[in-house]
Amino acid sequence: MPDAAAPTDASTAAPEGLWYVAAIARQVRAGSEHAEPVFGRTLRLTRDGQGVAIDASSDPIAVRESEGLIWAWLAGPEGEAPPCGPPVFNGPGGKVRFVEEALLPGPYDDAVYGLLDPAHGPYVHASPLWRSSRTLREKAKDYVPSPLGFTMLAHEPKNSAAYKLIGGGVQVEIGFQLPALRSEWISNTANKVLGLTTLTPVDANSTRIRQIFYWQSPLLSLVSPFVRPFTRGFLQQDVHIMTLRQRAAPWRLREMLIRDGDQLFIWYRRMKAEWARARASGQAFENPVRPATLRWRT
């Protein structure tokens, strides 16, 4: 049924008062400057005398380095300082092993929808190498709330050959948290991999997507150069579908979000609205997500 209780605020801007991935730490070297477009401006990232990454722009914003990533704080109009550091994921080894990125056309929430849409994988990213639309299966996934989002509880993946790279007996747990950080833990008794997908607003009409991986497996380090072309193609599929979505924007009517297929995006909209309310009122964020089992065919 349509979600009659979805927020009526149609704003598609990225939520304020949160940390976003601005760059990969190794891109910022001592004695040089790395320019990165974020939040409608250009960050001039460099390192100070202690090797700490800083924004050297004339009107700097808060940046922090953690787990091989440079995070930037999106402040509100008042320019408040961050009350805490960026999120910590404890990726295996604490070192970025692999990263690929692309620039998605369109407003931030359009990119978030693609990240959360269950149909996105088997149709946008259909490939005999990792998943095909011909292998669709009925699925039921259990979700629970987390401090700033929700988590799909650990389960055995059914229709993606890519998971076989780390061996058998694989379990996958997928988390999502504001502003739009998707963590996928892939593990078995021998290996553990963290795949982190991040969205960062470049400006009002473009969003950068990054796929970042952490692991300690020597085998994955060996095969990663051969995987890169496929990962790049994977993200270009995202660019293609977002381009088509923007072409259709002039004819797009008010979106009708349908349970269970759109429930993750419904939760995102509700969390985003609650986050804005909590910030405006000075009260604590109250996660509107409740435990649920969602069913779809992917």
Enter the tokens of residue 74: 């999106």
Q: What total of structural domains would you count in the chain?
A: 1
Q: Domain for residue 27, yes or no?
A: no
Q: How confident is the model at residue 163 (pLDDT cuts 50, 70, 90)?
A: low
Amino acid at 281: S
Task: Give me the pLDDT at residue 259, please.
Answer: 84
Give the span between the Cα atoms of 216 and 190, in whole angstroms. 10
Q: Domain for residue 51, yes or no?
A: no
Residue identified by tokens 């700097």 is: 60
Q: Domain for residue 98, yes or no?
A: yes
Q: Which helix (H) or strand (E) holds 269?
A: helix 263-281
In 3D space, the residue among 242, 243, 220 whose CA is nearest the CA of residue 231 turns out to be: 220
Task: Give me the pLDDT at residue 164, please.
Answer: 64
Give the span between the Cα atoms of 180 and 197, in whole angstroms. 8
Q: Flag whether pLDDT at 6 surpasses 70.
A: no
Task: Give me the pLDDT at residue 58, please.
Answer: 84
In 3D space, the residue among 182, 121, 197, 120 whose CA is nearest the CA of residue 151 turns out to be: 182
In 3D space, the residue among 179, 175, 177, 208 whose CA is nearest the CA of residue 14 turns out to be: 179
User: Contact 66/174 with Cβ under 8 angstroms?
Assistant: no
Enter the tokens of residue 253: 């009517």
**Helix-, strand-, coil-residue percentages of the chain, each rounded to 5:** 25, 35, 40
Task: Give me the pLDDT at residue 159, please.
Answer: 60
Task: Give me the pLDDT at residue 221, please.
Answer: 84
Q: What mean pLDDT is predicted for residues 215-233?
A: 83
Amino acid at 210: R
Q: Domain for residue 226, yes or no?
A: yes
User: In this predicted model, what pLDDT tens digit does every residue of 40-52 receive, in sequence order?
Assistant: 999 999 999 899 9
Q: Domain for residue 68, yes or no?
A: no
Give the span between the Cα atoms of 38 and 48, in whole angstroms. 21
Output Rg (C-alpha) for the chain, integer angstroms: 19
Q: What is the pTM of this model?
A: 0.89
220 or 161: which leads in pLDDT = 220
CATH number, domain with residue 265: 3.90.380.10
- Burial (CB count within 10 angstroms: exposed 0-12, middle 13-18, buried 19+), residue 8: exposed
End-to-end CA distance of the chain: 19
User: In this predicted model, what pLDDT tens digit does every residue of 10-63 receive, in sequence order?
Assistant: 478 999 999 999 999 999 998 899 999 999 999 999 999 899 999 998 889 999
Task: Give me the pLDDT at residue 158, please.
Answer: 67
Q: How confident is the model at residue 4 (pLDDT cuts 50, 70, 90)?
A: very low
Q: Domain for residue 42, yes or no?
A: no
User: Contact 195/184 with Cβ under 8 angstroms?
Assistant: yes
Q: Domain for residue 17, yes or no?
A: no
- 200 is in which domain, residue-wise? 89-297
Give the span between the Cα atoms of 43 and 48, in whole angstroms. 15
**Phi and psi of 116, rounded to 5°?**
-105, -15
Q: Flag whether pLDDT at 190 surpasses 90.
A: no
User: In this predicted model, what pLDDT tens digit does every residue of 111-136 receive, in sequence order?
Assistant: 999 999 887 777 777 665 555 556 67
Question: Pairing state of beta strands 98-105 and 206-214?
Answer: antiparallel
Q: Flag whether pLDDT at 290 surpasses 80.
A: yes
Task: Give me the pLDDT at residue 134, please.
Answer: 64
User: In this predicted model, what pLDDT tens digit does every residue of 226-274 receive, in sequence order?
Assistant: 778 878 888 888 888 889 888 887 777 667 788 888 999 999 999 999 9
Task: Give me the pLDDT at residue 132, please.
Answer: 56
Q: Domain for residue 26, yes or no?
A: no
Give the span between the Cα atoms of 242 and 96, in whole angstroms. 27
Q: Flag whether pLDDT at 1 surpasses 70.
A: no
